[in-house]
Structure 1
Amino acid sequence: MSSDVPRTVKAVDTAELVRLDAEAIECGLNRNHGAGWLVEFADPDAVHYLWPALVHRAGHRPEVSPHWRCMLLLKLRDGQQVFSLLDVLPTSFEALPETLDRATKTEIARRLEHGGLLTQAQWVDLDS
C-alpha cells in the first residue's frame, strides 16, 4: 500500500458515508462527525464527495497509521453543501468505485479548495 494519497475524488452515497464515519469512530480516528450526526443531518438521498488531502500518521496507533485525511463535500438535509473532513483508511477509500469523469473531479476539487463553502462547524453554529 502506498503512503501517498491518491489524487482522485470519489462519490459516496449517504449510507456509505455513514459507514465510513462509523469506521473512523471505531478506529479512534480524529476526524469524524460523531455517532449519529450524519444520520441526523446529511441528506439521505444525496451524493457526497471525498478527496484525500494528506497522509495522517498516528504513531501511537500503528494499526490505523497511516490513514488519509479527506476533504468532504457534504450535502445536508436543508440542501446546503458544506466542507468537512473525514479520516478514512486507505483500504476503505481504495474499495470505493471510480464513478466520476475527470471534469467532475476537477470541479469538486476546485469547490473544496476555493469554493467559499461553509464548514460543518459554521453550519452547526448557524443552525443553533
Structure 2
Amino acid sequence: MASSKIPRTVKAVNTTQLIRLDEEAMVRGLNRQHGAGWLAEHADPEATHYLWPALVHRLDHRPEYSPHWRCMLLLTLRDGQQVFSLLDVLPASFTALPENLDRATKTRIAQRLQTPMQTVAEWSQRHG
C-alpha cells in the first residue's frame, strides 16, 4: 500500500519530467489544473519547475491510486511568468525524483508557493 505520510520537501523538475508526471495523472484520472497538452504548449521548455506535496488525497472510486499526494506546483511559462498550479502525483513517482535542492532553496520555494500569485486559470483567462 502506498504511504500516506507526506514528505516535507520541495523537488525541482524539468519540463520533460513535469509533462511525464502530468500525463501519468491524466491517465490515472488524478487532479490536474489544465487540459491535455497545455504544459507542452505553455511551460517554458528550459525552465525548472517546483513541486511541494501539500496534502494526502484519496479517491474512493480509484483505490488503486490512493492515497496520492496533491502537490503545489510553481510553474514557469514560456513568457517568463511564474504561476501557481496543483498536480496530483503518485508517491512512488515523487520519491523517484532526485533530491537536488539545498535547504535554503527549498525554504524559498515553499515560501513563494504560500504567497498569493497568479494561477494557471487566471493566466489562461488573460491569454486565452
TM range (shorter): over 0.9
**CA deviation string 1:62-120 (max 9, x = no partner):** 11000100000000000000000000000000000000000000000000002x21001
CA contact (8 A) 1:82 1:117 kept: yes
Aligned counterpart, 1:33: 34
Shift of 1:34: 2.2
Matches within 5 A, 1:1-128: 1-114=2-115, 116-128=116-128
Q: Which runs of 5+ in 1 are unaligned?
A: none
User: In angstroms, what is the RMSD of aligned CA positions?
Assistant: 0.9
Cα gap change, 1:32 to 1:20, in 2 (>3 Å): farther
Q: 1:32 & 1:120 partners in 2: Cα distance?
A: 7
Count of matched residue positions in the alignment of Structure 1 and Structure 2: 127
CA contact (8 A) 1:25 1:34 kept: no
Q: Which runs of 5+ in 2 are unaligned?
A: none
Partner SS, residue 34 of structure 1: coil
TM-score w.r.t. structure 1 length? 0.96
Q: Percent identity?
A: 71
TM-score w.r.t. structure 2 length? 0.96
Amino acid at match of 1:84: S
